[in-house]
Structure 1
């Protein structure tokens, strides 16, 4: 495994995409180190994606594409402005709250950064915010996207561990809101310190009603998902399909902001994005087989158990390790490789599995905004016309408060478990 680790690190260092890093490392092992038939490569890759629950991924991605092209983003921003526009640092607060609403539609951090950033970063600069600060707020709040359902990475975790998608979705709401609240507190502090502007005039009631009407059409999409899944009327995969159908109806007939060409473009874009995600899953499953053959999970388990018997120390160690892994690997790939390793160890410490799942997922999602892999940083850079280095430096204080929120989630399990408990997923 030392040789495989060297191959893995070298491939990452020269900038090979993570899917191919996993593939190259696995292929090297099968060719030169393992006495295993090469036919297993195709079998393991296929079995990695031969799972009904994974059908939800392309449909959730498609629903996000359709809702984004329906211009629902504008209505959500206006609605957020009504809610928090009079708080100091108004546009920063609007940015964060809009991310919460947008998370319930796309479940993607990169989509959040691209859609909201293209509108709010220039608007914040026009109001007197620095480009670095405006971009940092946008990027930091995009982490909320994969935490609040629907979430592609939660579907991947379910596939990797067998945890209920519905339970994971239920457990994601309070953590997502807690992360948003931590960002709002920091934005309030900066607003007071730097005298950031806020809205002082009242919005006419006619405009409020119109904005709410436009926003409700968009917010009905996550509402349909929540009611349908939690009531048991349909599975998460069926919910994703229904969300796509609703998005098409909303864009073509209710809002009338989307053309048939844009529907086709949404299908094409979703197909490309889904293919990348599924390739990562297939090759991560192959790499996981290499780890299983070399008994890496049991070796790590024995190491952890011999190192400490204290649950608090174990959770701290896991958090530090996951933060590092999030910096160098895509969250989906990390979940597929690490969840089957760490979940059994967590169970030996008496940690509730759903609680551990959310701690892991929230932690790994921070990798979206940390270099060198941080995909949200790269999505924001061309919008703000800033270097990755400047954005990374500006986002550090926001990462700091998000880590504080992560510590609350880690050591206060009820913040994660109360909603699934109320909905009957756990007792």
Structure 2
């Protein structure tokens, strides 16, 4: 068993070091591990079955729908209206532009379901504006990348759907509702850091706008924000499932972007559909390959061995959860969220349950962990996008990123050790 686990880890990280795409690294490492205990023909048959079976789940149909709606929204003038709304509401406070950046990234990330899209759409406008007002460019880039990750917790979120599949049956509706408070807490913690930073640096505030203009900006952004309420409201009330919510999100985003805002033309739709297909194919290949790896992990009893080892290390739940968190933070810095959730949920969820943590609570913890990984060097994907937009380098944004990272880590600790933050809203709505 130990030998199989060693082969799996060594082959996987060796291929990653060679810049082999992660889905192929997972697949090759899985095959290599299978061949230690299974003949070639049964091994090849098993991995083919697991690749196909891993994506043969009705709930996963929601992912291509939300990917498509997010891409349509991303080009539909949503970012501009959200930024103007945030500017009107909170621009007059200390560090106004930085606060607007956080709020806009949070809202756009939630609507689009993509931290990378939020970083690109909001950052391309906010980073130059902040630089004009005297904000440090590297701080602006670091802030945009950190704030964009909050959308991974606030529904509709594809990664929460993937966790629901990996955990073996946690309610998607419960996960969606559970993500609100942690996501908002992360956003507020980043705003707190921004306010302190702005006071220290003496950054200017934005002028207070007349009430009529504020209302006009809020009304202009309401159709975009309404998508969140339609999706989560319909799921909570039982009017439609998460998959059906994805289809409704596509229809709504088309009407909003093509008919109402008129920011997306009909000739642009084939390109958007093609990009959506490419993204969905990548995600599904990752899910299929990760499902195969999860199977071989289970076959070799590796999750059980890790669980027993962790529980033998200490009887203190606080310490064990801290070890799991640190491990996930390191993993998130090197691995994409989708395979990380699919691979490490079966490994760490049994440990968490043995400590009395619910699968719902653990799901929010692991997603928040890996969201922090998205803005963690050296491989954090949103950092590269933020650096490209700001025309700077990873090395230059690490220093301003540290206080933001600390704020997110403190929220992670709160979410880990205070179950009510994740479980309160689902219990209120009768979902948990």
Q: Within 5 Å, give how 1:33-48 maps onto structure 2.
A: 34-35=38-39, 36-48=42-54
Match in the other structure for 1:311? 317
Structure 1 residue 213 displacement after superposition: 2.4
Q: By how many angstroms is 1:30 displaced?
A: 3.4
Aligned 1:117-156 pairs, distance under 5 A: 117-156=123-162
Question: Whole-Å Cα distance in 1 between the matches of residues 204 and 60 of structure 2?
Answer: 45
Match for residue 405 of structure 1? 411
Q: What is aligned with 2:216?
A: 210
Residue correspondence of structure 1 range 408-419 to structure 2 within 5 A: 408-419=414-425
**Who is 2:395 aligned against?**
389
Name the residue aligned to 1:26: 30
Q: Contact (CA 8 Å) 1:87, 1:198: kept in 2 or not?
A: yes
> Is contact 2:110-2:152 (8 Å) kept?
no
- Per the alignment, residue 78 of structure 1 pairs with 84
CA–CA distance in structure 2, aligned partners of residues 108 and 258 of structure 1: 19
Partner of 1:260: 266
What CA distance in whole angstroms lies between the structure 2 residues aligned with 1:2 and 1:341? 15
Q: Which residue of the partner structure matches residue 170 of structure 2?
A: 163
Q: Does 1:175 align with 2:179?
A: no
Alpha-carbon distance in structure 1 between the residues aligned to 2:128 and 2:90? 19
Does the 8 A contact of 2:110 with 2:150 survive in 1? Answer: no
Report 1:373-384 matches (<5 A). Answer: 373-384=379-390
Report the aligned-residue RMSD.
1.3
Note if contact 1:309-1:349 (Cα within 8 Å) is conserved in structure 2: no
The match for 2:66 is: 60
Counterpart contact for 1:103–1:145, Cα < 8 Å: yes
CA displacement at 1:3 relative to structure 2: 2.4
Separation in structure 2 between the aligned mates of residue 20 and residue 259 of structure 1, nearest angstrom: 37
Are residues 1:11 and 2:3 paired? no
Q: Provide Cα deviations, 1:308-357, integer angstroms capped at 9, x if missing partner.
A: 22221121111111111111111111110111121122111111221111
Give, in whole Å, the separation in 2 of the partners of 1:166 and 1:369. 27
Answer yes or no: is the 8 Å Cα contact 1:151–1:169 preserved in 2.
Answer: yes
Deviations 1:23-62 (A, max 9, x none): 1211222345533431112111000100000011111111
Verify the 8 A CA contact 1:252 1:258 in the aligned structure 2.
yes
2: CA distance, partners of 1:169 / 1:310: 30
> Which residue is equivalent to 1:184?
191
How do 1:358-377 and structure 2 match up within 5 A? Answer: 358-377=364-383
Q: Which residue of 2 aligns with 1:281?
A: 287
Q: Is the Cα–Cα contact under 8 Å of residues 248 and 263 in structure 1 kept in the other structure?
A: no
Any stretches of 5+ residues in structure 2 without a counterpart? none
Q: Say whether the 8 Å CA contact 2:160–2:172 is kept in structure 1.
A: yes
Aligned length: 425
Q: Match of 2:250? A: 244
Instruction: Identify the range of structure 1 (244-253 vs 206-215) with the bigger mean alpha-carbon deviation.
Output: 206-215
How many Å apart are 1:379 and its aligned residue?
A: 1.2
SS in 2 for 1:38: helix
Provide the C-alpha distance between the structure 2 equivalents of 1:389 and 1:309, rounded to a whole number of angstroms: 40
Query: Aligned equivalents of 1:205 and 1:4: distance in 2?
Result: 61
Shift of 1:143: 1.2
Structure 1 residue ranges without an equivalent (≥5): none
Q: Answer yes or no: is 1:93 the counterpart of 2:99.
A: yes
Mark the CA change 1:335 to 1:255 in structure 2 (over 3 Å): closer, same or farther.
same
1:205, CA displacement in angstroms? 4.2
Among 209, 212, 223, the residue aligned to 2:229:
223
Structure 1 contact 228–234 (Cα < 8 Å) conserved: yes
> For the residues of structure 2 that align with 1:207 and 1:262, how far apart are their CA atoms?
32
C-alpha distance after superposition, 1:148-202 (max 9, x if no partner) = 11111101001111111000001000000000011001000001000011113x3
Q: Take 2:36 and 2:431, find their aligned partners in 1: how far apart are those partners?
A: 46
Q: Does the aligned pair in 2 maintain the 1:139–1:395 contact within 8 Å? A: no
Q: 1-side partners of 2:217 and 2:234: how far apart?
A: 26
